[in-house]
Amino acid sequence: MTHALIALVRTQLQLYLKNRKALITHLLMPILIAAFFGSLFGDSGAKETARLKVAWVDEDGSALSQRIGLQLQQDGKLAVLAMTRAEAEAAVRKGERRAAVLMPAGFGTRASRWWDRHELPEVQLWYDPSESMSAQILEGLLAQHAMRETLSQGFGHGQAGAGLATVESEIEGSDLPAARREQLKALARTVNDLQTPQPGEAPASGAAAAAGSPGEVLSLPYALKTQALSAGQAGYNSYAHSFSGMGVQFVLMLGVELGVGLLMARRSGMWQRLRAAPLSKGLLLGSHFLSIWIIASAVLLVVLAAGMAVFGFRVQGSLPGFVLVVLGMGAFTAGFGLALAALGGSPETTRGLAIMASLMLVMLGGAWVPSFVFPAWLQDLTLWVPLRWAVDGLDAMTWRGQGLATALLAAAVLFGSALLLTGLAIWRFRWRE
């Protein structure tokens, strides 16, 4: 009894170890997935982080607003691009920029009057509603740089007293009570003296200068108005993205199963029997392509329709564009399944390799984790991943509310990828295993 048990166990282990490709897949898959998530959320030291893409709109054009814009451009956390109001609004609505800052006309004049906060300039911050965390980061950085530059100008730091004289003159010309004017002028002189380096004393800079500034007791020189922008009337709906991502993932898994099913049919001899009929390999693969395309597109439509019915998100953009992206994803799934059938060896090995490839495509496509949390180099790399275009295309047609032009680009990538995979499948097609 014991010897028989040991012999059976040994046989099973030998059979498993004999399939080297499957063994490598089983070991490599968890290592790659763990490394992927570790690189995203772990602290790996001096790794390159993706900068927040921000639009900068300066309708004031004053020296103060220009200096604030320059400080934001030099900040390592931001990638700032100067735009007009219309360009910035369109970029945020399309998701091309995560946020935009609008400096209104007259900002420099009103913000520099640190002693008078009755009429604050209204700075607008527009942001992508799917990235509210980015808006909070930008809000903090804007406050830091705006406060530093405003106080530097208001107290005449580094201007050899010229700025102080201007401040005193403006305070004297205000309608404040005489006692209050004298107190404010005394404060300005004191702060100017503190900010002027004494003989043998190095001037403070960076965090030290900010810590020693009067910004700790003064309020922000502007009122901030934040607004989430999307082309869709209903705004951001997290269910729209999650259903798009999971729908794309499981439709691709469906393609894997159908592709492996073709390999099982080849092993059973069905392909040889079909070969006896007047059927070309193009006709055979074409029939499978159409059937997988129809099945995958229908499944994805049903998944998205269920999400719309239960969780209330809608197609806010182009309805033909939405259908086009769904059909493009179905075509890519069909091409992916045929490529597996043509390139695969045994069904067991192919299933393992295909699942690993599918998971990598899904992860890089942003179906699990939004692509904006990827490192900068990975964000650029994922533009070559068709599933990235599928997820972004469905997002654009649902909560982003984009037009047909956006869908055409995503669909072109998906159909083009499907065409390449199908051509590869026809080229490498084999009647026997």
- Name the 3-class secondary structure at 322: helix
Say what the pLDDT of residue 116 is. 62
The answer on 221 and 241 residing in a single domain is no
Residue 204 domain-assigned (yes or no): no
Strand 99-103 relative to strand 78-82, pairing: unpaired
| Structural domains counted in the chain | 2
Say what the pLDDT of residue 212 is. 42
Say what the pLDDT of residue 40 is. 63
Residue 396 domain-assigned (yes or no): yes
The answer on 58 and 158 residing in a single domain is yes
Identify which of 118, 65, 120, 59 has the alpha carbon closest to the alpha carbon of residue 85.
Answer: 59
| pLDDT tens-place values along the chain, 433 residues long | 688 788 878 888 887 777 776 677 677 777 777 776 666 665 554 455 678 899 999 999 998 899 999 999 999 889 999 999 999 998 998 888 989 999 999 888 888 776 566 678 899 999 988 777 888 889 999 998 988 888 776 555 444 445 566 666 767 767 677 777 777 677 667 666 655 555 655 554 443 344 344 444 456 888 899 988 876 666 667 888 899 999 999 999 998 888 888 888 877 877 777 767 777 777 878 888 999 999 999 999 999 999 999 998 899 889 999 999 999 999 999 999 888 877 776 777 777 778 888 888 888 888 887 676 677 777 788 889 999 999 999 998 998 888 899 999 999 999 999 999 999 988 887 766 5
Here the CATH number for the domain that contains residue 191 is 3.40.1710
Residue range of the domain that includes 323: 234-427
Question: Which residues partner with 57 through β-bridges?
Answer: 102
The answer on 318 and 250 residing in a single domain is yes
Residue 71 C-alpha from the chain's centroid: 24
Residue 91: CB atoms within 10 Å:
22
Q: What is the strand order of the sheet 52-58 is part of?
A: 78-82, 52-58, 99-103, 122-127, 223-228
DSSP character for 406?
H
Say what the pLDDT of residue 206 is. 42
Question: Which residue type occupies 275?
Answer: R
**First-to-last CA distance in the chain?**
38
Residue 253 domain-assigned (yes or no): yes
Residue 92 domain-assigned (yes or no): yes
Phi, psi of 138 (to 5 degrees): -65, -40
Q: For residue 83, what are its two tokens?
A: 């735009």
Residue 317 domain-assigned (yes or no): yes
Residue 20 domain-assigned (yes or no): no
Contacts 24+ apart (CB under 8 A), 197-200: none
Evaluate whether 287 touches 425 at the Cβ level (below 8 Å): no
